[in-house]
Amino acid sequence: MSVSPVVRATLQQVGLVLVSAMWLVPFYSMVINGFKTNQGAISTPVLLPPAVPTLQAYTSVWPQLEGPIINSLIVSVPVTALSAFLGAMGAYFFYALTYANSRFSAAVSDFLFSVIALATFIPYQATIIPLTRFIVSLNLLNTYLGLVLAYMIFFVPTGALLMSIFIAVVPKQIIEAAKMDGASDLKIFWRVVLPLTVPAFVSTLIFVFILSWNNFFIPLVLTTTPSMKLVPITVESYTGGYGTLYNDTFAVATLASVIPLLIFIFLGRYFIRGLAALGGGGKGV
């Protein structure tokens, strides 16, 4: 039995509302509980707005969060840009090997891609000892450069994996036409592949930025100086072993999520376009 277009559209809208509510309700509760006193946050239901809103929690946590936000931006911005760009170059390398006129090249591409894919799923905890020794050997412990390098070790493979999924749907005929015109692989990547995959590249930027912004374990191990604290470490510090100021915890979590949220709001259309292009087999990439 076929479903009418009206019913299908209604079901899609209902599903969209339900999915949106699943995301918005926790965010709503986090925001409004930051406007409560600590007693109010403890004694009232989490979804109930405060009877008398107050900015006390937000104003008290902001001075402690201002420095970590700057630190996180110093680390996350270059990590995101480099990981996405180098990952895109790696993805095109796999693409070029796959379609080379050689079974050996295709086999090498499959093997390297499998290694890269496996690397993205290795837990941070499993590599933290050799990673720490590596950073210490470079004399980069407690430095921004050390954090950037450590993040990139994990996120460049992630960028390559994501971009390879999108680059795979770029029509092969376009690449072949550019090669017939005498373009080098670097020029093809820069002038052809990258412009055609802008939505995919922005999607990768967003994904890697959120991963780096929220990463807790790497800065926990590689930074010991209080002035080097990043946002996740600061947010976690508000959950004490002997007591917790719940309104402050809600407030600091809200402020910590503002920058990733703004990035997703302003660049989200590119993220959706990238996913849509992937689902459409490359149409509109």
Same domain, 24 and 144: no
Same domain, 26 and 69: no
The DSSP code for 49 is P
Q: Return the higher-pLDDT residue of 222 and 13.
A: 222
CATH code, domain carrying 195: 1.10.3720.10
In a domain, 110, yes or no: yes
In a domain, 284, yes or no: no
pLDDT, mean of residues 60-72 = 94
Same domain, 141 and 192: yes
In a domain, 97, yes or no: yes
Final residue of a domain: which of 54, 77, 98?
Answer: 54
Residue position matching structure tokens 């460049």: 156
pLDDT for 82 beyond 60? yes
- Rounded to two decimals, the pTM is 0.85
Same domain, 181 and 72: yes
In a domain, 29, yes or no: yes
At residue 95 the predicted structure's pLDDT band, cuts being 50, 70 and 90, is confident
In a domain, 127, yes or no: yes
pLDDT of residue 149: 96
Same domain, 148 and 114: yes
In a domain, 285, yes or no: no
Same domain, 14 and 103: no
Q: Which of 218, 224, 231 is nearest to 132 (CA)?
A: 218
In a domain, 23, yes or no: yes
Q: How many domains does the chain have?
A: 2
Final residue of a domain: which of 18, 34, 54?
Answer: 54
Same domain, 150 and 43: no
Same domain, 112 and 2: no
CB under 8 A, 24+ apart: contacts of 221-226: 221/128, 221/131, 221/132, 222/131, 222/132, 222/135, 222/141, 222/142, 222/146, 222/147, 222/150, 223/142, 223/147, 224/141, 224/142, 225/142
Same domain, 227 and 144: yes
94, 95, 98, 99 alpha-carbon torsion, rounded to 10° = -150
User: How does pLDDT run across 20-35, given as a tens digit for each residue?
Assistant: 788 788 889 999 999 9
Give the structural domain span for 6.
1-54
Final residue of a domain: which of 39, 54, 69?
Answer: 54
